[in-house]
Amino acid sequence: MSEIFISYRRTDSSPVSGRLYAALQHAYGDRAVFMDTSSIAPGASWPRSLENALARAKVVLVVMGPQWIRAANEWGERLIDQEGDWVRRELEGALAADKQVIPLLVSGARMPPPERLPESLRSLCERQAVPLRDEFFEHDLKLVVTQVEARAKLAGLPSVDNWYPQPPPDVPDPLSEEKLAVALKAVLRHWQVVESPLPQDESATRIELYREYRFRTFRDAIAFMSEVAPGCDIANHHPRWENVWRHVRVSLTTWDIGHRISDRDVQLAKYFDSAYGEFPGADPPG
């Protein structure tokens, strides 16, 4: 029985939808996920297969790329405005049945304003969308899976933490002062190097990359920490950070080389900066 239904437009998001389908199959098994071109047996009735799969599904993932709402027929009429459009019918059925519907924004797409959708689909804009970025696909996919598990309570499925087993990492080398200076100038212009005593041994010194991120609200700050946390698990490298009202203060160092800065810290800092640049609740100074 397919618990997860993937709704998408072939002309809009076929490659990333296929990647999503393969990843969810890997996590949950072949029969837990339905995607039309991969799940319909040859000769099966197309409408009946879709309707049955949609009826069984607990969660509907709506993959929305830049052309999702713009796709049109040969006369220039938007497909989403046609009552016979299968994407529209899938969503109308899911929303009417009060399914757990999760919009996934791919290739830089944004949620359309409600007035740009047929009235029967406007409640889609009330659903919390999750970005699925190519450069952070595994990170964002974990956020999707977290949503799926929380909403559908799929039994007998592997936990998120067991998805991508990571081999024990090699111990990195500390960055030289020259390389660190180049990184700060080239890609980490908002970061600084900070030295401080180790709390557990004040005779020892830790060297860290430090940056403070500012947000519009306290909840935005907490949401940002939640968004980037799975990526830290994937990298198997974690920050020392704190939240103070609308601010998140991040310190990065590599513990197993004597609390010195390594390339892992540089890469994690770049990841945080990229996520912050796309985060809707960010409030950068100036």
Estimate to the nearest angstrom the gap between the alpha carbon of 237 and the chain centroid.
18
Question: Which residue is associated with the tokens 């900066």?
Answer: 273
Q: What is the pTM of this model?
A: 0.60
Superfamily of domain 4-162 in the CATH hierarchy = Toll/interleukin-1 receptor homology (TIR) domain (3.40.50.10140)
Cβ neighbourhood burial of 137 (10 Å; 0-12, 13-18, 19+): middle
The residue ranges of every structural domain in the chain are 4-162, 177-278
- 131: part of which helix (H) or strand (E)? strand 130-132
For 247, what's the count of Cα atoms within 13 Å in the CB-facing half-sphere? 6
Number of helices followed by number of strands (H, E) in the chain? 8, 9
Q: What's the pLDDT at 42?
A: 56
Answer whether 100's CB lies under 8 Å from 61's CB. no
Q: Tell me 251's DSSP state.
A: E
Mutual orientation of helices 218-235 and 137-152 as an angle, nearest 10°? 110
What is the dihedral angle through the alpha carbons of 91, 95, 99, 101, rounded to the nearest 10 degrees? 60
Q: What angle do CA 6, 12, 15 make, to 5 degrees?
A: 65
- Find, among 137, 135, 67, 149, the residue nearest to 102 by Cα: 149
Angle between helices 137-152 and 10-28 (to 10 degrees): 70
Element (H, E) at 205: strand 201-214
DSSP tag of 72: B
What's the length of the chain?
286
pLDDT of residue 146: 74
Which pLDDT score is estimated for 164? 40
Tens place of pLDDT per residue across the chain (286 aa)? 578 999 999 989 989 999 999 888 888 888 889 998 766 565 555 678 888 999 999 899 999 999 999 999 999 999 999 998 989 999 999 999 999 999 999 998 999 999 999 999 999 998 888 888 887 787 788 778 877 876 766 434 444 444 443 444 578 899 999 999 999 999 999 999 999 999 988 899 999 999 999 999 999 999 999 888 877 876 778 999 999 999 999 999 999 999 999 998 998 999 899 889 988 899 998 7
The bridge status of strand 247-252 relative to strand 201-214 is antiparallel
Q: Are strands 192-198 and 201-214 parallel, antiparallel or unpaired?
A: antiparallel
Q: Classify 274 as helix, strand or coil.
A: helix
User: How is domain 177-278 classified at the architecture level of CATH?
Assistant: 2-Layer Sandwich (3.30)
Q: Where are the alpha helices (H) located in the chain, listed in sequence order?
A: 10-28, 36-39, 46-56, 86-96, 137-152, 177-186, 218-235, 263-278
CA dihedral 233, 270, 202, 176 (to 10 degrees): 120
Q: What is the pLDDT of residue 47?
A: 76
CA 108 to chain centre: 12
The C-alpha atoms of residue 25 and residue 30 are separated, in whole angstroms, by 5
